[in-house]
Amino acid sequence: MILQHFENQESGIMNAIRENPESASPRKKLALETARLGKRLYSNTDDLVWAGPLIPFDLLNAMDVTPAFAEFIASILVSTDAGPLFFENAEQAGYASDTCGYHRMLMGSALKGMIPTPKLLISAMSPCTGGLAAMENLARVFKKDLFILHIPQKESDHGVRILADHIRDMAESVSSHTGKVLDNDRLRKAMENTNKTREILSDIYTLAQQVPSPVNGRDLSNFGIVLPLFFGTEVGIEIAQAFYDELKSRIKANRSGVPGERIRLMWLQNRIQFKNNLVKMLEKEFNASIVVDELNVITWDPIDPEDPYIGLARRSISSPLNGTVERRVKQIVKLAEAYKIDGAINPCHWGCRQGTGARGLIDSRMKEIGVPVLNLEVDCVDPRNFAEGQLITRIEAFMEMIESRPSPW
């Protein structure tokens, strides 16, 4: 059933582009490649490793091991017809309905045998212990080993060296569970690809900062979370290049992402993963654009292809999802200034410490620079908890408030 979903998605996009080549867009390219990845995950042909956030997917790609990114798969399953059933399964198995929807979705679908069996599971201690517990549960369901990557919370040379060694251990574990050997030349090439993608991403984010921004609220949603799945591959470069070219051409044509852009917003943490009208409503009624997502950011330097483990370790440690809230808040403020945003929306995803736990600290620091924050309480994954009317009132009131005050910039 899920394989069919990905096959339909792939053929649907390809047909649409064939029938109308002008409809091709970077967003479609990304959707096409994620559908293809989904197909590989469910085709029983590839060696799979389940992995959570902050795991270096490029290392897995270099080993010809397909990364099954847990939260990514959960968000895909939400859009299938069986989504609500999976949530119910998880709740019947004891997952409280107000815990993280990503993890409930994973557990519910695993218990129904609807997610593919990996050779190994890898989870980091960071960013969330709930995610680690979900992976432990999955390992038990699959009767497979779980490798836990300990990511230091603080960036220091000592911590980087320890994590670099630990990533090496991880690669060895992947190798022993899949039989795939990590070839040095392939690893070097993968790191070169990662660096190239990084460079284009950095250019994309610079273009997105322009006033008015060439991006609309949908172009780069989930971008910084999904693209790492393609790090280390040629496909990753192609996707990034497609986005860069599109933004460049919009700028050349003097076309902003949202016509007549009046309000610039930042979306914190994750987007709402199921279909909803909020972003379109923002554009249509307020000429407001989400010009930046918190996780659409490059926090790491290029990786030295001759000594990749150090660079990979630095990258994982530098993630805004790792370490103290203080560090995360600094990063958010930096983005707010770079993108000249008028306000930020924090969905405060249900049952998530990243979303809800940090909100007071984010609010007070943003207030200091004159940027208001709208805190919602949304289950970003489970549409059964979605009260659209209530959310629209809050967002509209936030827009009215922003319209009535001078720009912070």
Half-sphere exposure of residue 24, counting CA atoms within 13 Å on the CB side?
A: 13
Q: Which is nearer to another protein, 80 or 356 (CB)?
A: 356
Q: Looking at beta carbons only, is 6 or 350 nearer to another protein? A: 350
Nearer to another protein, 255 or 384 (CB): 384
Q: Nearer to another protein by C-beta: 137 or 375?
A: 375
Helix (H/G/I), strand (E/B), else coil: 50: strand
| Helix 129-142 vs helix 70-78: crossing angle, to nearest 10 | 80
- CB closer to another protein, 384 vs 405: 405
| Helices 26-42 + 2-19 axis angle, to 10 | 150
- Minimum distance from CB of 192 to another protein (Å)? 47
Best CA proximity match to 174, nearest among 49, 316, 308, 58: 49
Q: Residue 129 or residue 393: which is nearer to another protein going by CB?
A: 393
Q: Interior CA angle at 66 toward 61 and 69, to 5°?
A: 100
CB of 105 to another protein, least distance (A): 20
CB of 289 to another protein, least distance (A): 20
- Please give the structure tokens belonging to residue 123: 């989870």
Q: Quick one: 140 or 367, whose CB is closer to another protein? A: 367
In the complex with another protein, which residue's Cβ is closer, 73 or 344? 344
Least distance to another protein from the beta carbon of 358, Å? 14
DSSP for residue 30: H
Give the tokens for residue 245: 């070219």
CA-to-CA distance for 380 and 186, rounded, in angstroms? 37
Supply the Cα-derived Rg of the chain in whole angstroms.
21
Compute how many other C-beta atoms are within 10 angstroms of the C-beta atom of residue 44: 10
- Least distance (Å) between residue 371 CB and another protein: 12
Q: Which residues pair with 374 in a beta bridge?
A: 345
Amino acid at 125: M
Cis omega before residue 347 (within 30°)? no
Query: In angstroms, what is the minimal distance from the CB of 400 to another protein?
Result: 5
Q: Considering the complex, what minimum distance in angstroms separates the CB of residue 380 from another protein?
A: 14
Interface contacts to another protein, rule CB under 8 A: 360, 372, 375-377, 389-390, 393-394, 396-397, 400-401, 404-405
* Nearer CB in complex with another protein: 211/397: 397
What is the closest distance, in whole angstroms, from the C-beta atom of residue 124 to another protein in the complex? 29
In the block, tokens 């943003």 appear at: 366
Q: Is 67 helix (H, G, I), strand (E, B) or coil?
A: strand
SS (H, E, C) 118-180: CCEEEEECCCCHHHHHHHHHHHHHHCCCEEEECCCCCCCHHHHHHHHHHHHHHHHHHHHHHCC
Please identify, using beta-carbon distances, which residue of 254 and 404 lies nearer to another protein: 404
The least distance separating another protein from the CB of residue 343, rounded to whole angstroms, comes to 11
3-state secondary structure of 346: strand
Q: Give the nearer residue to another protein in terms of CB position, either 308 or 343.
A: 343
**Cβ of 48: how many Cβ atoms within 10 Å?**
23
Tell me which H or E stretch contains 266.
strand 263-267
Closest approach of Cβ 404 to another protein, in Å? 5
In the complex, the smallest distance separating the C-beta of residue 99 from another protein, rounded to whole angstroms, is 14
Sign of CA dihedral 45, 51, 53, 58: negative
